[in-house]
Each structure stands twice: as C-alpha cells, then as structure tokens.
Chains A and B, each alone.
Chain A
Amino acid sequence: MGGIWVVGEVDASGALTKLSAEAATAARALGEAGHLDVTGLIVAAEPDRAAASLATFLPVVLAVRAPEAMDCPAAAVVAARVAALAGAAEQPPAWFVLGASPDGRDLAGVLSALLEIGVLVGATGLAWGDAADGVPAGPRVEMQPFGGRLLTTSGFTGDRGIILLRPNMVAAEPLAAPGRVEERSVEAVTDPPAVRVVERVAAEAAGPSIEEARVIVSGGRGVGGPEGFAGLRELAGLLGGAVGATRAAVDAGWIDYATQIGQTGKTVKPAIYLAFGVSGAIQHKVGMQTAETIVAVNRDPDAPIGEFADLFLIADLATVVPALIAALRARTG
C-alpha cells in the first residue's frame, strides 16, 4: 500500500508554515498507527530552507525547485509537480495530509481533480481505523460541522484521499533526529497556470494569526471604534494572544477582515476566547463556539452570547478593559 504525503507550505520569506509542521506531526502519528511511510514534499522557487524545516518533522523530504512559483499563485504550480511525482513514484501516495490554509485548500482542490480522488476538509483530528461499515482500513477524520454543533468521524470509501487539517489541532513535535532532504526534479503534469502575479503587496504589520492563537481577545460593535481596539490589542499582548473581531466591527472599518471570526470569516478554536461588546449572533458563534473557555463582557443581560459563554460579565467594557489591563499588569509585575 502507498504511503502518506505531506505537502508543506512555504511562506513569503521562504520558511515552512507552522500549520505545515502540525500537518507533518499529525501525519507521522497516522503513519505509525497504519504502518505507512510518511514523506514530506516542498515545491517552491527556493525550497531548501522549508525542506530542511520539514525534515525536522519527517524522515524523508523531497525538495522540488519550481521557478514558476515566483510569478504564479502557488497551488496550481505545486499540485502539477506533486501529481507528477505521485505518478512516477515507486510507491504512489495513498493519503495526502495538507494544512487547511487558503493555499492548502486551493492545492487540495487542484490535486483532487488531477488525481481524481476525494477530499475531507476541516479535520480537527486524525486516527487510523480498521475496515468497517463498507469502508476499508484507512484514516479516520474527525470534523466539527455546523459550527461545532456536531462531531463527526468520516473515512474514504477507496484507498486514496486528501485530508485538510485545521490550524492548531495538534502541537508540532520534531523528530529526535532530523530526516534527510532529497532533491528531485520533475516536469509538471500541466502547463503553468495562465495567472500572473503582477504585484505582491504587504499590508502594514499584520498581527499574529487568529487561527493559531491560544488566546483570542475579540471585539464587536460595542467596542465603539478603532480606538477601542487599541485597548484590546494591549490585552491580547498581555495574554500572549491575538485580536479577533465580529463582522460588524470589520464592516465599520475599525479592524482588518483578516481578524473576522464567523461564518464568512475564520473558524477558531483557542483555549481562551474573551469577547468584548460581541452580541453572539449565530454567524459569529459558528466560528468560535468550540473555544475551550469563553468569557464575555456585555452590558446587555439578554445578549445571546450569555447563553453559551462560560463566564458572562454584565458590565460596561469601557471600564472593564482598562481595569483588566491594570490587573494583568499588576500580576506580571
């Protein structure tokens, strides 16, 4: 039977993403349980640095130089090389474990069509399962659909498939001794995509990613304006977390869309979710209700968030935020 392939993602600086390290760690555990080899792949214009990082998590990493990745969106370029490698491999891959980042999703879509295989999206956990219910032995993928109102376990009906792992579901753990990197060169199975990257624009200081944060300090319309988010940023700094927001705050232009949590924003699962001036509308709730601990500060005793928060403080955030900053400062000395 074929093994497990982890396709690592390379960020703008050439480094391996944190989510890729998590995917590698999850795939390694899956490989041990299913007695399968796990191989890493890096396809990039300059793959060396990311390949070396991925090899700290996996025994073998294939590094493929793809100069066209400079001028095209990554997914189609990467998928075309990965499909070529899969076609040429002595032991073709059975399972792919990818990170569910925007590029990872694009990659999964392209790979799925090139290899004609299924995809399970939004994995929150991975295990190996024996044949059961007409489904052969293979990965069992835990998901939390319906905004976390349901827990499901799914599998593949055939002997191949792609799994997209959500950020922050496993802690990345390096191998005791790093694996080896092998350079490969392979022709892409398709022409480079007819999409040109004309310019890459960096926004002014993007904050830490909310999907990876252990603590999220989130603000809604009740925060009152962009100044209000300055206080939340300070709180997030003291708690080692990131700032999140509702769509109302984003629509008002107080904060960037990248921080929006909910149905048409990001889905997060932090240890602590502190919500200030957030009503808890269903479209927000579906993005955060699986947080381990939810603390809400709202002056309306009937705000829906009071129905699912663990601690619900009925108070004016304008006075609570400064007091909380002072209390946390006093603790850290």
Chain B
Amino acid sequence: MRIVVLLKPVPDPGEERLGADGRLDRSVSPVINGNDEYVLEAALKLVEAGGGEITLLSMAPAGVTDPIRKALAMGATRAVLVSDPALAGACTWTTVQVLAAALRTLEFDLVVAGIDTSDGGGGVVAAGIATLLELPYLSNARRIEPFEGGVRVERLSPAGHDLLEASLPAIVSGTQLLGEPRYPSLRGIMGARSKEIAVRTLADIGLADRPVGGAHATTAMLDARPPASRGSTRVVRDLEPAAAAAAIVDFLVERRAL
C-alpha cells in the first residue's frame, strides 16, 4: 500500500510560546505531533505486513525538519515539506487547502492523519481534506486494517466502537490506541540522512494565485493573556489516614465543593 502520513511538527507540549509577532513560535523544540506518531506507527506496520511505501507530508516552516528526519528514521520512505513564507500565520482553512493540493500531486492508496494536534488544532483538518478530495473519511480509528482491496477501521464511538469499511483511496484519522510508536534504530537514523525531503512552495502545488496563507487567514487572534494564577499549594504530610481524609473533606468544603 502507498500510504501518505500527514505529519505536523509542533512545539514540544509545555514549551509553546508566542513569538514577537504574536504568532506561535514554531521554531521552539519541534517534535512530531503526538497523535501523528501513532498513525505513523500504524502505517509502518501496514507496510511491513503488506508491502508498500510511506510518504510523509508536512506543512511547516523550512527550518523545522528535525521531526521529519525522526519520522524518516522510524522507517518512512520519503518526505514532502510544503513551506512558503506566505504560509506564516495560516489558518485551518488554509492548511486544509494546502495539504489537499499537495496530495493531488502525490500517488497514494491511503492517507493517515492524527486525530488532533497539541498546538491548538481541533481535529478538523483531515475531514476538510477528505471533503475537498472527495475521498472516504474514517475518523477516530483505534485499529486500521486492509480489507478486500479497501480499508477497515474500528472507530471509537461514545458507546464503544463502530466498524467501518471503505474502498481505497481513503483518509483515516487515528488515535493513541493504534499502538506505541517505535524508537528509530541506529540504522534507521543513518539511513534517514540520505532520504529525500522535497520542499515545495505554494507555486509548486498550484496555489500561487489562490487566496491562501497568512494574508488570507479566516481567523485572527485579537488578544492573549496569562490565566489567573492558581495561588499557592497547601502541602499536608505525615497524617494518619483518617486525618488525611478529613483534610481533603475540609478542603473541599472550604472550596464549596461539598
């Protein structure tokens, strides 16, 4: 199977900060978005079991390639990085259009995406791409398997799970339940050095004259402020169990929670 993994480099959770321009500073300790690492692992297993290749597709600033190198070291075949100065400050709708346009230039049977991103994404990009490309969309996967020339997915539902089937090509978004991602091996790391990261501009993917990018953002952040501080921690130690329980009850009463 030819699989494209939508892989977003994000600032390491906990390290995110705004730059001087008021936008998320994407150069801060970039890592692979957590959920994207799970779907990459699922893609690697599918290819190991049934053959094929994996193309990583990212939209990110040109300098932010460490996470892509890591994914190549884990076993992806090649990477395409859409990078263009005009994309700084892009909104979700731009991301959808850019990734969809880039996918039009690639050959694939299956696209996999993370269920959401840790840097403020809301899990809407993959559904948007599927709509623009008119592909079947199977979301919230906890299991992905090939099935009679198509794909079968167990989708988490509020009640349990739904079993979904679709023909290929299709887009699947997946969760942590797909399984723990592997660590890159030493051989993988060495091999990744010679793998290609093809950088594409908006013009390269046919969007030069389209209203996409920061200048056409559909949303704007108007204000950012720190939340009210939590106040100091009350530390309690060396209590008998009953006294410890009473300390919790008293605290909850004080906070009007009981």
Q: Which residues of A contact B (CB under 8 A)?
A: 11-12, 73, 75-76, 79, 100-102, 105-110, 112-114, 116-122, 129, 132-135, 140, 143-158, 161, 164, 190, 193-203, 206, 209, 215, 239, 247, 251, 257-258, 260, 263-265, 271-272, 274, 282-283, 285-286, 290, 292-295, 297, 301, 306-315, 319-320, 322-324, 326-328, 331
Contacts and interface: CB of A to CB of B under 8 A. Distances in A.
Contact of B93 (A76, A117, A149, A199): A117
Interface residues of B, number: 87
Contacts of B119: 145-146
Contact of A144 (B91, B125, B159, B227): B227
A199 B162 contact: yes
Main SS at interface, chain A? mixed
Interface in B177-232: 177, 180, 217-227, 230-231
Contacts of B14: 147, 282, 285-286
B233 A323 contact: no
A161 B219 contact: yes
B198 to A, nearest CB: 25
B154 to A, nearest CB: 8
B51 interface: no
Contacts of A129: 222
B219 A156 contact: yes
Nearest to A316: B241
Contacts of A310: 230-231, 233-234, 251, 255
Given A112-B128, A312-B235, A203 B222 contact: no
B255 A293 contact: yes
Nearest to B18: A150
A154 B131 contact: no
Given A116-B93, A122-B122, A320-B244, A135 B249 contact: no
Given A198-B152, A264-B38, A282-B13, 15 more contacts: A73-B162, A112-B92, A150-B224, A150-B225, A154-B221, A195-B138, A195-B170, A197-B163, A200-B160, A201-B163, A282-B14, A320-B244, A327-B242, A327-B248, A331-B249
Contact of A203 (B136, B159, B177, B249): B159
A196 B227 CA distance: 44
Nearest to A260: B176
A147 B12 CA distance: 12
Contacts of A283: 13, 34
A198 B34 CA distance: 29
Contacts of A147: 13-14
Contacts, number: 298
- The winner among A100, A102, A197 for most chain B CB atoms within 10 A is A102
B20 to A, nearest CB: 15
A121 B95 CA distance: 14
B83 interface: no
A209 B134 CA distance: 33
20 contacts: A100-B122, A105-B123, A106-B137, A146-B119, A147-B13, A149-B16, A198-B152, A198-B163, A203-B159, A251-B180, A257-B175, A263-B34, A283-B34, A293-B252, A297-B244, A313-B247, A314-B238, A319-B244, A323-B244, A331-B249
A265 B176 contact: yes
Nearest to A272: B257
Contacts of B234: 310-312
A123 to B, nearest CB: 10
Nearest to A114: B131
Contact of B124 (A109, A152, A293): A109
B218 A118 contact: yes
A98 B81 CA distance: 32
B255 to A, nearest CB: 5
B225 A151 contact: yes
Contacts of A282: 13-14
A206 to B, nearest CB: 6
